[in-house]
Amino acid sequence: MYESEKRNLLRCSEYLVHILRPSYVKGFMTTYLQPEVAERILSEESKSVTSAAQVFLDQVCLLDELGWYQALLDALDAEDYKGLCEALKKWDFQILESTKIHRVLLERIEPSFTKMIKPRDLLLHLGDCLRKREYEEIQAIENQKGPIAAAERLTDCLKRSDKQNWFKLLKSALLSCDLTDALQLLEPDTESSVSEMETGDEEEGETMTTISFQYTEQFDDDDGMLMSGNHLTPSETPPTSATGANSGVGEVQKGGEKRLREEEERGGGGGGGEKSRGGEKKMREYQRELAEPVFQGKNTVICAPTGCGKTVVALAICEHHLKVKGKGAKVVFMATKVDVFNQQYKLFQDHFQEKDPDIRINGLCGNQGDQLSMKVVMENNDIIVLTPQILVNAVAGGEITSLSCFSLLILDECHNTTGKHPYNIIMTSYLDAKLSKEQSGQHLPQIVGLTASVGIGSFKNQSEAENNICQLCASLDSRIISTIHTNTDELQSYVHTPEKEFFLVEKRHTDPFIRIIRDIMAKIEGLAKTVYNIESLSAIENRDYGSQKYEQWIVDVQKKCRVLQLKDQEEESRVCRALYNYTEHLRKYNDALIINEDARTKDALDYLSVFIQQVKNAGHDETEQRLTAYFDGQQGVLRGLSSGGQKENPKLDMLQYILEEQYRQNDETKSVLFVRTRALADALKSWIEESDSLKFLKPGVLIGRGHKSSQLTGTRMTLNSKKGVLDSFKSFDNQSKILIATSVADEGIDIPQCNLVLMYEYVGNVVKMVQVRGRGRAQGSKCILVSDKKDRIDKEKHNMEKEKIVEKAIRKLQDTPTEMLRKMEVFQRGDKVCRDMVKMVPERRLTEGSYQLLCSKCKKHSCYTDDIRVLQDSHHIVLDPTLFSRARTEPHPKPKGFMGLVKTKKLFCHCGLDWGIVASYLSIQNLPVLKIESFVVKNCVTEQQRYYRKWRDVTFSMKTFELTDIADSWNPLLEDQ
């Protein structure tokens, strides 16, 4: 049934796949195609509309259900595919065929054409050849991504038009909008400044007009990433005139339909349009400029603005490298954060799936390195995308014996190659191999770094900035800093630097909430002093309530409390536990003052209320009962003060004004609001949601995955929840118009739709300034700093001046490569000498003997080090079943395996301190695994106490875990409390 229709559809597939956008007939797909098939088509459309249309056609031709063909015609008619629908009804495609020449012409001139037109003006004249949905989408793209992106989408819609008169309407619109340069591209004989030269047979009277073509990105994906979603193909060589037209210049004959038809028949023709189902795209010229030193085989730091497509450059570099090196190629691309890893890994997969599916790609991040062999992954793949710690672990564990097994290392956000960062550890291994005489024969991989700024470290002048940059380049062994010099105009047409604005807001004049909280804190400090002289525990002075310095004082006091020793052990336990409780309450009140400074009193009070309730729920002792009574006694007054709402905070008033004004001027605005803490992110989310004039923004929150963030606010973001927030913000259906983010969003994550960046008391160094500002990518973007501290605004202005110093420093180093190389060699050899001296220091000998682990909060006995066994050099297991009589357990909220261990429960001291986990290993159940930061280590002989934050820092020896250590009777009873 319908065999003739299916044959005819396949015969005319060229017209259907180059006109239809499958998502426009989604209703037909959901009715007649399987859900997973429809989902696959929609997913394919995000990469290539033509490819998706071909998949759609293939699936339609498999249908046997009665009435499907008429339903297809009805769906096309309903979505205003009148021309295509009529052609399918009559099986007559002459009208569509007659417009093909115009599509090919538009495709060839598209790179220049899109830069000459004004989509917003043209739309007023093109209503008859655009669908309503296309009209609205183009408007939305211009608002969010700028006129270039909108022009590209408009051009794509015109190329896919089935209206017979679309070309005529387009020329009329260009004429009405006085866009004569663009019109001249469509009609070479139109009067313009383009030079014409006579050529060929005079009897034919043909006139040849030369038109410049530029290679640029074109894309189908409205929902994708504008700045990093384009794909690459090798540049084609355009035809040249016999009379010597300029290189890189294409030709269009006057009345050039004949020439275009001939080229179509030969399989030649146009520029960057879709010529295959893969829908591959071209690389921009400024991206080629950035990649050129790498193509020449040089180690290079690529420094270019956020949003210019450095990942696209990396894809091109990988392609070129694989082609040149052949079977000897082995590429590693590294991303510093798991979120960015997921984003880049998908881009690599999508790109090479279209470019060359035979290229093998794999990715590793997080604890995947524990579950998969890095050696096996390396041997069986051409490109490996990973987080750098995976490679550090593989080298340290001996899986990867040398970096020479790779041919190319690409380090995204390479400005992090400092200190103890995994990038620097990797490059230290690289430089040791390079500078070592014994290993001088190794063929080390090519190094490529990607960054938006090399303005690392502190510097006061250009000379110091040059030294910092040379140090970074020395660490990356890169003699070339590749920046954009030649193609700056093209760069500026795609990358828009947001306009910077500053709002200095007056501080609160009076605030009773602050006075009450300070009084409570003073009382708690007084109680603490009756237990012990806490002033003797820390030398930090001038600590004001509600400051970072006060937080530092608390940390210092708690650190000293852990190793506080008294003659009476019971008294020591009582004092340490009491001081821990006092300082924890002081910490939360200090946090509340900080929240109150930037948000509402209500938010600060809610933060405190959650903490107090958690203390009560945990079965608080006499000390804690007294502490919570202070809060309960003032809660009524505090609630009354909090009812004042946002009007009490001038900074929130200013923030509200900025947002209301911005969205009044442009209701399609997409904003990112940067804040310093997770607690403030939650507070501002609540404020927006409860504000009548702002709740339409539907705020999303993007914060880190740290465990501490969830203990009070309840906010702990998984990778899936982060993806959901970003997808909602990026979507065109305006699910979320504002994203509230901490530093997790200021580096690497693509948010191309953003046109307003708000920095709410959020200031860092030069690199952070460049990264944050770069989140605003749409044309006309703004970056606004709101603060009530003049010194904070002055610091950001100073960062802007330092950015200029960095630019001058880069130019100076590029102009004096010999001097740059000299400095780099000095830094490299000096660093190597320091590393060698460290290696010469005798390795610290671990002491024998027995040590006792005491809870760092209550100083109660936990276990002895004689009972601790070390598994896989990482996990410290206690083989004393009586430990469970001194602890309590709870089901683990996220049980999962790592390195053979499976987490099953959480382990707590009776005082409430988190001791670690309970895990199973192989067939052995209920193994307590401790984290050393929760304990104080007491020498059983000298009774000296020490505190360690990491197991690697301990000075005593421990035995290796052996299965024979586990008694057959091992099965400690766990009583959840």
**851-965 adopts what CATH topology?**
2.170.150
Exposed e or buried b for every residue in 618-630, given b needs 16+ CB within 10 A? eebbebbeebbeb
DSSP H/E element including 496: none
The pLDDT assigned to 484 comes to 95
Q: Which residues contact 199 (CB under 8 A, 6 or more apart)?
A: 206, 207, 208, 241, 242, 243
Indicate if the pLDDT at residue 666 is higher than 50. Answer: yes
Indicate if the pLDDT at residue 907 is higher than 90. Answer: yes
Alpha helix stretches (DSSP H) within 19-165: 26-32, 35-45, 49-60, 68-78, 82-90, 94-116, 119-123, 132-145, 147-159
Query: Please, which pLDDT band fits residue 417 given cuts at 50, 70 and 90?
Result: very high
- Residue 906: helix, strand or coil by DSSP? strand
DSSP H/E element including 319: helix 310-325
Residue with tokens 């290189």: 247
d(CA 405, CA 393): 16
Pairing mode, strands 480-482 and 300-303: parallel
The pLDDT assigned to 689 comes to 92
The pLDDT assigned to 1 comes to 55
d(CA 689, CA 699): 7
User: What is the average pLDDT across 142-149?
Assistant: 82
Beginning with the edge strand found earlier in the chain, give each strand of the sheet holding 935-939 in spatial order: 861-864, 851-855, 935-939, 945-947
For 552-706, list the strands marked E by DSSP: 671-674, 700-702
Decide if 387 contacts 365 (C-beta within 8 A): yes
Domain residue extents for the chain: 3-90, 286-493, 499-504+647-801, 512-634, 851-965
Q: What is the dihedral of CA 784, 786, 792, 796, to 10 degrees?
A: 0
**286-493 adopts what CATH topology?**
Rossmann fold (3.40.50)
Beginning with the edge strand found earlier in the chain, give each strand of the sheet holding 196-198 in spatial order: 196-198, 207-212, 249-253
Q: Is the pTM of this model over 0.75?
A: no
The pLDDT assigned to 263 comes to 38
Query: What is the percent of the chain where pLDDT is above 90?
Result: 34
Taken in order 425, 431, 433, 437, the sign of the CA dihedral is: negative
Domain 499-504+647-801, CATH 3.40.50.300 — does that match? yes
For residue 469, give Cα distances in angstroms to 293, 301, 302, 812, 823. Answer: 18, 10, 13, 11, 10
pLDDT tens, position by position, 918-950: 998 888 889 999 999 999 999 998 889 999 999
Q: What are phi and psi of 569, to 5 degrees?
A: -65, -35
Alpha helix stretches (DSSP H) within 446-568: 462-475, 488-494, 512-531, 548-562
Crossing angle of helices 719-730 and 338-355, rounded to 10°? 70
pLDDT tens, position by position, 79-114: 888 888 888 888 888 888 888 888 888 887 887 788
Least Cα distance to 113 among 263, 274, 250, 289 occurs for 250
Query: CB-side exposure of 721: number of CA atoms within 13 Å?
Result: 10
The pLDDT assigned to 710 comes to 43
Taken in order 749, 752, 758, 763, the sign of the CA dihedral is: positive
Crossing angle of helices 94-116 and 82-90, rounded to 10°? 160
Give the type of residue at 396.
Answer: A
Indicate if the pLDDT at residue 253 is higher than 70. Answer: no
Least Cα distance to 538 among 504, 594, 579, 483 occurs for 579
Bridge partners, residue 973, by sequence: none
How buried is residue 939: exposed, middle or buried, by Cβ count under 10 Å (0-12/13-18/19+)?
Answer: middle
| 811: its two tokens | 């130019």
pLDDT tens, position by position, 785-844: 999 999 999 999 998 999 999 999 999 999 999 999 999 999 999 998 888 888 887 766
pLDDT tens, position by position, 263-286: 333 333 333 333 333 434 468 999
Indicate if the pLDDT at residue 139 is higher than 90. Answer: no
Decide if 728 contacts 735 (C-beta within 8 A): yes
For residue 482, give Cα distances in angstroms to 214, 451, 766. Answer: 21, 10, 19
pLDDT tens, position by position, 952-971: 889 888 999 988 888 766 76
Decide if 333 contacts 385 (C-beta within 8 A): yes
Query: Please, which pLDDT band fits residue 724 given cuts at 50, 70 and 90?
Result: low
pLDDT tens, position by position, 610-638: 999 988 887 667 888 899 999 999 988 88
Residue count of the chain: 977
DSSP letter assigned to residue 465 = H
Indicate if the pLDDT at residue 405 is higher than 90. Answer: yes
Query: Please, which pLDDT band fits residue 641 given cuts at 50, 70 and 90?
Result: confident
For residue 938, give Cα distances in angstroms to 537, 847, 853, 856, 952. Answer: 20, 13, 6, 11, 17
Lowest mean per-residue pLDDT among 35-49, 363-377, 383-397, 455-469: 363-377
Least Cα distance to 40 among 27, 56, 25 occurs for 56
Residue with tokens 């579950």: 371
DSSP letter assigned to residue 297 = T
Q: Which CATH number fits domain 3-90: 1.10.10.10, 1.10.533.10, 3.40.50.300, 2.40.340.10?
A: 1.10.533.10
Pairing mode, strands 671-674 and 756-760: parallel
Q: What are phi and psi of 251, to 5 degrees?
A: -130, 140
pLDDT tens, position by position, 438-483: 555 678 999 999 998 998 888 889 999 999 999 999 999 999 999 9
The pLDDT assigned to 731 comes to 63
Highest mean pLDDT among 148-157, 411-420, 750-759 belongs to: 411-420
d(CA 291, CA 298): 10
| 481: its two tokens | 């800093």
Q: What are phi and psi of 396, to 5 degrees?
A: -65, -35
d(CA 568, CA 570): 6
Task: Tell me if domain 3-90 and domain 499-504+647-801 are identical in fold.
Answer: no
- For 512-634, CATH gives 1.20.1320.30
Least Cα distance to 465 among 795, 764, 823, 769 occurs for 823
DSSP letter assigned to residue 690 = T
Least Cα distance to 254 among 334, 194, 320 occurs for 194
